[in-house]
Amino acid sequence: MARYNAREEEKRWQQEWERQKLFATPAHTSAPKCYVLEMFPYPSGRIHMGHTRNYTMGDVIARFRRAQGYAVLHPMGWDAFGLPAENAARDKGVSPRDWTYENIAHMRDQLKMMGLSIDWSREFATCDPAYYHQQQKLFLDFHAAGFVHRSEADVNWDPVDMTVLANEQVIDGRGWRSGAVVERKKLSQWFFRITQFADELLAGLDTLDRWPEKVRTMQRNWIGRSEGLGFQFTLSNGEKLDVFTTRPDTLFGASFVALSPDHPLAGALAAQDAGLEAFIAECRRTGTAEADIEKAEKLGYDTGLTAAHPFDGNWKLPVMVANFVLMGYGTGAIFGCPAHDQRDLDFARKYGLTVTPVVVPEDADPRTFAIGTEAYTGPGRLANSRFLDGLTVDAAKAEVASRLEKAGIGRRTVHYRLRDWLVSRQRPWGCPIPMIHCPACGVVPVPKDQLPVLLPETINFKVRGNPLDADTAWKTTTCPKCGGPATRDTDTLDTFADSSWYFARFTNPEAAEPVDKAAADYWLPVDQYIGGIEHAILHLLYARYFTRAMAKLGLVKVAEPFAGLFTQGMVCHETYKDADGNWVSPDEVEKRDGKAFLLDGGAEVSIGPSEKMSKSKKNVIAPEAIIAEYGADTIRWFMLSDTPPERDIEWTDAGAEGCHRFVQRIWRLCSEAEGLPAPGTAPVADDAASMALRQAAHRAIAAVTDDLENLRFNRAVAQLYTLANAIGAAGKAGGAARREALETLVLLSAPMMPHLAESCWRALGHDRLVAGTPWPRHDPALTRTDQVVLAVQVNGKRRAEFGVQKDADAKIVEKLALEQEGVVRALDGKTPKKIIVVPNRIVNIVA
RNA sequence: GCCCCAGUGGCGGAAUGGUAGACGCAGUAGACUCAAAAUCUACCGCCUUCACGGGCGUGCUGGUUCAAGUCCGGCCUGGGGCACCA
């Protein structure tokens, strides 16, 4: 029989699937629905191994659910706005639009070669005017509902990408894309009021039981809720100063009050105090990067003012400006309690301030308990605190809060780390913000009937700054309110907005409104979302916010967009370096005996650790090349084999060859099946070989089904190897049972290797497609066994094993166990003290 | 510094508290072949033994249990996240 020709066969089946429209999304029926979605790609030009892994997993689930009878929605689109298109446009003189759509065309072909069961009729790109038109409507809806505000704020300015960034997009003080050190600027910008939903977004995490705990924790930390007390100090100049604390219980341990250098009061005082002005300038010079903060010493400047203690007007605390107090959290002012806060302690030691312990651990003596170089932050009882003495920390917190609330100078409050989402971007390749600035009327929304605000046909990248701002013709318009001359908002929306609702649009991409309510209500939430962990906060938080905001507007019913989330691991490869320390691509290397040599010249290269495939380390393998050599099923099988899906997988040539051998092996088993009874012949287990085959097949059905339900692809793969081994071991024996086992192997492997499955199905004599064939069911009678092998331990060490009837009487099992040769030897004449029989598993004899 | 996760053969990895190493890769020996490829068969944790067998073994260490890779305490190593958030 001929070897399996993947290239021809795969193309043939892809055409056949398309001809029969097998993956078209079914109409809404009573069938259970399953919305399977992988994070849509940025159209960079070609797919990489990470895409291959991501889309293979999604496709397995989609095909598996379809076979099980679910109505499946499995769409694909393009996250198509963004900077790479602009860079390409500037570098190559092409238009970002042409560049993007050409990339999409190429990548679509590549994805189709993988044989994904996608409903391509729903495809769209976020840069399609039809899509961003709807997004502009959403923006106006959000604006009308008060979810959007325009504010002047200190913003993160990326000097390389020439745009502002949201807080989430600044990592270690650098832009998430460019890596440039972010500068601070004051600009008037648009914000989504995500903080309005902070509590909901936090509480919602508890309902996401099919999300990785890790992602939920990261989001919880990012939202950063803290409960505390806001209250006022009266200063010696008569002014009031608001502070926030989570430790009101430590108020009698206060020894200073500190302001952020960016606090308005600090600024006002600096106007009359040159020393303070210089100090503030010094603080601003210190970077915000982690490394800087780590090293930064606690520095302070005494303003000369004092603050009266809220419970004792005669107790005066010095008011300092301190470099470690952040304007961006709480009120930008704190009271310092050195005994119970490490930062305050460092500061107090440096400036010789009092350190009074007010919380004493239960097992310590309040008269002798002292603070050294470490603040005490644990539980305990209050001391040195007048009316709080003897209370627990919690009781003291409540007592202080109540008293200050009663006195009208305090209030229990909640603060979040989460800031509003700044969405204005000074970039031309994005969704234009549909707003108009009128000198007479101020900021005016573009009326919906005048949408879309289209991007200009051509974008001139030769200008400095934002090309949309420089495009006078595009920018100039009339005010919808007064009809006078006005200008468009020349900013575009952060591209994370584009990906924050695309999953809802997929439910009906033709809808005249952003979302077709009936379609969205039917399909949402996404049942299984799959993507990289790198979106744990950014994309996944924004999408959750959008969904909640849309739900408030009545556009969708669900509060959470993704019921199930799976974060897959990265694809890695060994790295190679030549004698000069230059990275060398695997294409240029030949491996022999665990060593690596240059193909050109034969010089040995050093083998480095396996790392995420990246251009900079040259350890990239192109999926195209693998598909061309072995076919899509081989690469799909590799992506699912061995390594659990959430872990990083290492690509190896040997592994790929092994996968391809298995493809050929299945083909051989199915295509050399002459002598098999006709399709549809009922299997009978009337001989040992048949029984063994039937049991192997039905156990595989049970196991693979369970593994796929739980996304344990690597285990499902192992089960299929086991079944193939059993079929191989049976040789030509088995008749109808052999046919059943072969068909089971084909049906179970179909979600993973869909093309091969179709070829084998045809070879086994079927006319219809596997892709339209229901998932097999196991017969429980065949997955049971009546003989079991029991191990016998003596004092916990395994000494023998023997076969026995399943559920055999414990007395009989005990007797048999004691007769085993190994057991007799191990007992060496000793009398057993105790015999534990675990039915159908093990016997442990204690002697 | 804080939080989370993970440490199992040469490698990727299996294992409801119940026979550790399923399955795959690599490797060894053999069959087929003029030969090679492909394929098939057997072996494949370490030490010891002619063999039967015996000893050791899931990062280290202590504990719970008839029984621990699995549960509990302490530690080591690696990875990830957060990081002056009051």
Distance CA A147, CA A140 (A): 10
Decide: CB of A329 under 7 A of nucleic strand B: yes
The 3-state secondary structure of A536-601 reads CCHHHHHHHHHHHHHHHCCCCCCCCCECEEEEECCEEEEEEECCCCCEECHHHEEEECCEEEECCC
Decide: CB of A246 under 7 A of nucleic strand B: yes
Q: Decide: residue A329, CB within 10 A, 0-12 exposed, 13-18 middle, 19+ buried.
A: middle
Q: Are A541 and A168 in contact (CB under 8 A)?
A: yes
Decide: CB of A237 under 7 A of nucleic strand B: no
The pLDDT, as a whole number, for residue A285 is: 66
Distance CA A766, CA A285 (A): 75
B strand bases under 7 Å from protein CB: 3-5, 12-16, 18-20, 22-26, 38-41, 53-56, 66-68, 80-86
What's the complex ipTM? 0.94
- Candidates A428, A429, A480, A412; CA nearest to A451 is A480
Decide: CB of A537 under 7 A of nucleic strand B: yes
Decide: CB of A325 under 7 A of nucleic strand B: yes
Q: How distant is C1' of B41 from CA of A787, in Å?
A: 28
Decide: CB of A789 under 7 A of nucleic strand B: yes
Distance CA A463, CA A298 (A): 44
Q: Provide residues 272-291 of A with CB closer than 7 Å to any strand B atom.
A: 286, 288, 290
In this prediction the pTM is 0.91
Decide: CB of A723 under 7 A of nucleic strand B: no
Nucleotide nearest to A323 (CA to C1'): B84
Residue with tokens 């929605």: A73
> DSSP label at A392?
B
Decide: CB of A350 under 7 A of nucleic strand B: no
Distance CA A128, CA A123 (A): 11
Distance CA A43, CA A143 (A): 30
Q: How distant is C1' of B22 from CA of A716, in Å?
A: 12
Q: Provide residues 807-836 of A with CB closer than 7 Å to any strand B atom.
A: 822, 825-826, 834, 836
Nucleotide nearest to A346 (CA to C1'): B84
Decide: CB of A732 under 7 A of nucleic strand B: no
Which single residue has its CA nearest the C1' atom of nucleotide B39? A665
pLDDT digits (tens, 9 = 90+) for A415-461: 888 889 989 988 899 999 999 999 999 999 999 999 999 999 999 98
Q: Show the tokens assigned to A372.
A: 């050294």
- Candidates A761, A750, A746; CA nearest to A640 is A750
- Candidates A263, A254, A400; CA nearest to A335 is A254
Decide: CB of A729 under 7 A of nucleic strand B: yes
Decide: CB of A324 under 7 A of nucleic strand B: yes
Please enumerate in sequence order all residues whose Cβ is within 8 A of that of A696, keeping only pairs 6 or more positions apart, or say none.
A722, A723, A726, A727, A741
Decide: CB of A669 under 7 A of nucleic strand B: no
Q: Show the tokens assigned to A24.
A: 């078209």
The pLDDT, as a whole number, for residue A286 is: 61
- Candidates A790, A777, A775; CA nearest to A822 is A790
Distance CA A368, CA A78 (A): 67
Distance CA A535, CA A500 (A): 12
Q: How distant is C1' of B23 from CA of A717, in Å?
A: 8
- Candidates A10, A46, A26, A15; CA nearest to A119 is A26
Decide: CB of A412 under 7 A of nucleic strand B: no
Decide: CB of A135 under 7 A of nucleic strand B: no
**DSSP, residue by residue, A271-334:** TT-HHHHHHHHHHHHS--SHHHHHHPPP-EEEEEEEEEETTEEEEEEEEEEETT--TTSTTSEE
Low-confidence ranges of chain A (pLDDT < 50): 287-294
Handedness of CA A650, A651, A654, A657 (dihedral sign): positive
Query: Taking the CB of residue A60, how many other CB atoms lie within 10 A of it?
Result: 25
